[in-house]
Amino acid sequence: MPAEIIDGIAIAAKVRARVAEDTAALKKRGVTPGLTAVLVGEDPASSVYVASKERACKEAGMNGRSIRLPASTTEEALLAVIDTLNNDPTVHGILVQMPVPKQISEQKVIRRIAQQKDVDGFHPFNVGKVFTGDVDGFAPCTPAGVQVMLAEAGVETSGKDAVIIGRSNIVGKPMAALLLQSGKTANCTVTLCHSKTRDLASHTRRADILIAAIGKPEMVTADMVKPGAVVIDVGINRVEDPSAPKGYRIVGDVHFESVREVASKISPVPGGVGRMTIAMLLANTVRAAQLTLEG
């Protein structure tokens, strides 16, 4: 029997509905959650992504705006913009869309954002909180979204073997940290694989929960998956396809058609994890606004 589809679109809609409810409650207390995205340069994909974040904020009743700066912007000028946002009480969440132009240090940008407004969860303080299990921190949106998907899909994680393919600071490492913690949708035994891992399939075939975030189109095939495993595909890759209307199609890191015949549950691409990232960004921003009322 083909695997049950973990519907990221439906789950993200539930998260966004809760965000709208929390936003309405905050407004009654005189606080409107505000998220500001800063885009440096004119990368088309980044521009579309920033616009979608702004639109999602407004749909939830939040203040969402974007600041667009030319690609020639200096590091000092960008840091000055961040300082202004750090000091603006109407802004509860700040994100700088990556990548930034080569004259700007990404690490300096990440460290300059006030930790209490770092709703992307990239500031070293928030990274440390995630790894130590401190729930006061902001977890990066994509792995946090995966954890919500597992919970909503009814996946039992306690004591299970989780294998993550990919060791990025955005997904792989924080995903491992979240699943390792003691708590709901956690308590896993985690293996973190990467480009230098020997005999990758020997690790993936023992995974009860397999999370692919390596950025290689359809790399995970059916023979690499344990029968009955839960498979979460974080990858978003564009591959050429002359038969497609646009000349390409979007696929994940998992070969969906073959793996769905082996797994018990699987997230599709598109329609899976991607929708969760923005939903969790909104959720983090609302929580940042709530924290301002808690002192």
Task: Quote the CA–CA distance of 172 and 183 in Å, as a whole number.
Answer: 19
Instruction: Tell me which of 22, 97, 226, 265 is the catalytic residue.
Output: 97
Which amino acid, one-letter code, is at 275?
A: R
205, 208, 213, 219: CA torsion to nearest 10: 30
Q: Do the beta carbons of residue 171 and residue 199 sit within 8 Å?
A: no
Q: According to the 3-state scheme, what is the secondary structure of 50-117?
A: HHHHHHHHHHCCCEEEEEEECCCCCHHHHHHHHHHHHCCCCCCEEEECCCCCCCCCHHHHHHHCCHHH
Q: Do the beta carbons of residue 211 and residue 162 sit within 8 Å?
A: yes
State the pairing for strand pair 237-240/248-251: antiparallel
| Catalytic residue check, 53 | yes
Which amino acid, one-letter code, is at 149?
A: M
Instruction: Tell me which of 22, 53, 208, 265 is the catalytic residue.
Output: 53
DSSP structural state of residue 220: B
With 0-12 CB in 10 A as exposed, 13-18 as middle and 19+ as buried, what is 123?
buried
Q: Do the beta carbons of residue 131 and residue 181 sit within 8 Å?
A: no
Task: Quote the CA–CA distance of 274 and 11 in Å, as a whole number.
Answer: 11
Question: How many helices (H) and strands (E) in the chain?
Answer: 10, 11
Instruction: Tell me which of 22, 117, 118, 120 is the catalytic residue.
Output: 120
Task: Quote the CA–CA distance of 139 and 120 in Å, as a whole number.
Answer: 7
Q: Do the beta carbons of residue 212 and residue 254 sit within 8 Å?
A: yes
Q: What residues act catalytically?
A: 53, 97, 120
